[in-house]
Structure 1
Amino acid sequence: MSTGKPDREARHAALLDRLADHVLDHGLAATSLRPLARAAGTSDRMLLYYFTDKDALIAALLSHLADRMRGLLDQSVAAEPLAEAELLVLLRARVLDDAFWPYMRLWLDLAAGAAGGNAQYRQVGEAIGRGFVGWLEPQIAAPDADARRQSTARLLTMIEGMVLLKALGLDDVGAEAV
């Protein structure tokens, strides 16, 4: 006899996918309940059936988007750790690619909200950022753990700068760094 749990989980995952697509298209400004419900083809009350409140919905949605983004980044993983300069070229190509850019726009949106004082965005942004650091670090060829951490910090700083420069129409300046 089925408990309905796998079916509920499948509906929940499909719902998050529809919501994620909506947020990638429209940004975090479009995360009030009614537009999200409309994008998901449901009611705002049904959204709250799956999530205890709007904060839980946004946290789950951003976590889901981070998982999707990591999945895309995983396609860029080399078989062996790379030198910092090689990894920078590979990551720059991935994160500035038009297909990946909606995630970076959302990342900038999240960062702007965090900088503006939104505690939830800061908490979620920090978790996503630290997750990226954890993803990046083992991909760097370095003589020891300290050198690997320093390379990770440099790469993260350079990639974030390149994302910001592209957003401002200065991607040609970022290209000069590699």
Structure 2
Amino acid sequence: MGRQRQPLIAERLLDECTDYALEHGLPDRLEPLVRATGTSARMLLYHFDTRDGLLRAILRQARKHQLDAFGDLLRVRPDEEYTVTLARAWTAMTGPDGQPYLRMFGQLREDAEQHLWPGFRRIATTDWLGPLEDGLRTIGRPESATLVLAVIRGLLMDLDATGDTTRTDRAFHDLLIALEHAPGDERTAATRAIPRQQRDRREQYPER
């Protein structure tokens, strides 16, 4: 009779593999994950059946973490204008805590076959529409959720390709002003939030 699998061990191995993949990228071989966990390829395959089975588990675990983190950033805060919430979310998503997820899932979106996660591109889009609609409804703009999401996705691709945080931050700032219909030179919540966060980003990452 075969040995029973131990869920706690599998969970620990998956956490360690996920941490490695978020820091270094999703590997196409088992060896980097073997070194990261200090176990053997045989043990990883024992718990996850195949290499692709382990990679799928890593992607789903990382996606769960991303949904929790980014979902919290996008949630409505009763005492805060939603454009300010979006400004903070953008800074966090494109900062050091958010970048590992953007790299991993950008890599997955570029996989034309998507054999590890069929339909991921669609899921990765529709996941965020609900939270954005809820938030934008508080400023009377729920119908703008698709537009806002499209701009965010486009700017993230731009940032990944160019590393130009100043230009992409400014473009997101312009989107927030448009959402608020800022009249003339009036400084709205959006116009106050982004320049301050751009300054903080420059102070934290002066080399950019």
TM-score range, shorter chain: 0.7 to 0.9
* In structure 1, C-alpha distance between the alignment counterparts of 2:70 and 2:79, rounded to whole Å: 15
Match for residue 43 of structure 1 among 40, 45, 60: 40
Distance in 2 between residues matched to 1:19 and 1:75, nearest whole Å: 24
CA deviation after TM superposition for structure 1 residue 94, in Å: 1.7
Query: Could you say if the C-alpha distance between residues 87 and 58 of structure 1 is closer, same or farther in structure 2, counting changes exceeding 3 Å?
Result: same
1:174 and 2:168 aligned: yes
In 2, the alpha carbon distance for the partners of 1:131 and 1:14 equals 27
Distance 2:71 2:114 in 1: 29
Distance 1:49 1:130, change over 3 A: farther
Runs of 4+ in 1 over 4 A off after TM superposition: 81-84
Supply the RMSD in Å over aligned alpha carbons. Answer: 2.8
Letter in 2 for 1:94: A
Specify which structure has the bigger relative contact order, considering alpha-carbon pairs within 8 angstroms and separated by 6 or more residues.
1
| Matched-pair identity in % | 24
Hey, what's the Cα distance between the residues in 2 that align with 1:15 and 1:136?
A: 34
Instruction: Please list the CA deviations of residues 65-87 of structure 1 after superposition, one character each: whole Å capped at 9, or x if unmatched.
Output: 01111222244233349766444
Say which structure is richer in helix.
1
Please identify the structure whose Cα radius of gyration is greater: 2
Tell me how far apart the structure 1 counterparts of residues 44 and 54 of structure 2 sit (CA, whole Å).
8
Residues 93 and 10 (structure 1 numbering): CA distance in 2 closer, same or farther, change over 3 Å?
same
Tell me how far 1:58 sits from its aligned partner: 1.5
Deviations 1:92-131 (A, max 9, x none): 1121112221111112212222xx3333345334334433
Instruction: For residue 142 of structure 1, report the CA deviation from its aligned partner.
Output: 5.5
CA distance in 2: counterparts of 1:122 and 1:81, whole angstroms: 40
2:144 paired residue number: 151
Deviation at 1:176, TM superposition (A): 1.7
Q: How has the CA–CA distance of structure 1 residues 23 and 38 changed in structure 2, closer, same or farther, with 3 Å as cutoff?
A: same
TM-score normalised to structure 2 length? 0.67
Number of equivalent positions:
167
Task: Report the TM-score, using the length of structure 1 for normalisation.
Answer: 0.77
Shift of 1:51: 1.2
Tell me the equivalent position of 1:90: 88
